[in-house]
Structure 1
Amino acid sequence: MKAILFLLVSTASFAQITPGPMPTLDQIGGMAKSANLSDLGNVATAKANLGIPGLSITGNNVTVNGKPFGTYPLSASLSGTGNQTTFTVAHSLGFTPSFVAVHPNSNDAANIRYYTVDATNVTIYYTTAPVPGSNNLIYSIELR
């Protein structure tokens, strides 16, 4: 099969494109006159000035309503006693996350009944106490 190439010739004129700095948001109808899109620091400033209530960007840190935004992984190794049914894992976020997921990473840590989170701790509850052992309860915890 042969490829056929069609060339359309037009008398329209085209402006020459020359490399140069990216236009500022002000030049393209944006919000921040000083935000040159080629400057990542100013892009963050421009994003922070989008007018979204509660959004703040400082360097690489994003906060929404004063709380850090993102996922915070946590791991824990605890020791079962054979009769303890509640275990507490401290986190250092300083606020109550809106989401928590606890994943047992050892057989002895399985069969979690439920878990809760507050401003300082994740609490893991069992109906039946896990077997005794040294650091036999291993968890991955995801906080958001």
Structure 2
Amino acid sequence: MDDFVQVSQLWPLIAYSAAALAVVAAMLALPRFLSGQRPPGRYTGSPFESGVVPVGDIHVRLAVQYYPVALFFVIFDLEAIFIYAWAVAFREAGWPGYVEMLTFILVLLAALFYLCRSGALDWRTRRQRSQDAYFKH
């Protein structure tokens, strides 16, 4: 029986889960009660910003190249969090942790080098690249 966790040891987890559920329920319920539930007005369904009625198309088209760059940014940003956590625990990790982080950073640099060499971070169109190649010669 010593291998199994006692229910009395789980009360902090249960209390935390209950508190998290209560916060989520409050965040979902309070706006409904505080809004006053007015009947829909004349312009309720129309999109606007700062009271100005939009003119033209409200949809913004982004270049396809934006999405991979945004994804790479998120990925490399998460790696920065790992490096920060390692820096906080630097003394406890010792030399093995240093070697592991150095390996991790080298893999990141290799990935960044690959992305640069493969053109994944190049925003120029094919036409612009061909013009650059034409003017270089």
Give the TM interval when normalised to the shorter protein: under 0.3
TM-score, scaled to structure 2: 0.19
Q: TM-score, normalised by structure 1?
A: 0.19
In proportion to residue count, which structure has more strand?
1
Which has the larger helix fraction?
Answer: 2
